[in-house]
Amino acid sequence: MTLAAGGYLVIAFKTDNPGSWLMHCHVAWHASEGFAVQFVEREKEIPRTIEAGSLEVIEDNCKTWDKYNNGKEVYIQNDSGI
């Protein structure tokens, strides 16, 4: 999808799946430059969705990302005042 300069995008989705969901470009360096947004849906329900033993997999993924990203914080600058 291409968005014109100064344009906007409206997204609607059903919030029926607890978790932390990333909407992003499929190029990893784009995500590390801030071309991504994360939605946390039904946060209080997330812990019970994690199966026993899955925590190690999640932690390994986080370590892999940290290694790729060299420990830099990823953030989105929002100049729109929203």
Whether 23 and 39 have beta carbons less than 8 Å apart is answered as yes
Per-residue pLDDT tens for 16-73?
888 888 777 777 777 677 777 788 898 898 888 887 777 788 888 888 888 887 766 6
Per-residue pLDDT tens for 56-67?
888 888 888 888
Please give the structure tokens belonging to residue 51.
């199966």
Q: What is the DSSP string of 50-77?
A: SPTTHHHHHHHHHHHHHHHHTT------
What pTM was computed for the model?
A: 0.45
Q: What share of the chain is helix, strand, coil (3-state, %, to 5)?
A: 35, 15, 50
Domain ranges for the chain, please list them. Answer: 19-69
